[in-house]
Amino acid sequence: MLREMRKEAGLQQVALAERLGRPQSFVSDVEKGQRRVDILELMEICDACGVTLTDFASRLQERMLAGSKAPAD
C-alpha cells in the first residue's frame, strides 16, 4: 500500500527517500515488507506523499475489511 501511495504522489523511490532524509534502500525495504516502520516513521512517509495519517489508516482499514469478506460456504 505504501508503494501505491508513493506512486499516486508521483514520486520515485529516490525522491521519497530524499524527502525523508533516508537512503533509497530504506524506501525499498519498507515497500517490500522487509522493514517495519513505527508510527512516527509512517507519519513522515505519509506527509512526504501528501497524505494524512488518518486517510492512510482509513484506506488500510477499507482494504483489510474488503479482504476479510470472503464468500460464505
Q: pLDDT (tens digit, 9 = 90+) per residue, 29-52? A: 999 999 999 999 999 999 999 999
Q: What whole-number distance in Å separates Cα of residue 28 and Cα of residue 30?
A: 5
Q: pLDDT (tens digit, 9 = 90+) per residue, 17-31? A: 999 999 999 999 999
What's the CATH fold of domain 2-67? 434 Repressor (Amino-terminal Domain) (1.10.260)
pLDDT value of residue 70: 53
For residue 53, count CB atoms less than 10 angstroms from its CB and return exposed for 0-12, middle for 13-18, buried for 19 or more.
middle
pLDDT above 90 covers a percentage of the chain that reads 86
Alpha carbons within 13 angstroms on the beta-carbon side of residue 27 total 25
C-alpha grid cell for residue 33? 515488507
Per-domain boundaries in the chain: 2-67
Contact 6, 13 (CB under 8 A): yes
Which stretches within the chain are classed as H helix? 2-8, 13-20, 24-31, 39-48, 53-68
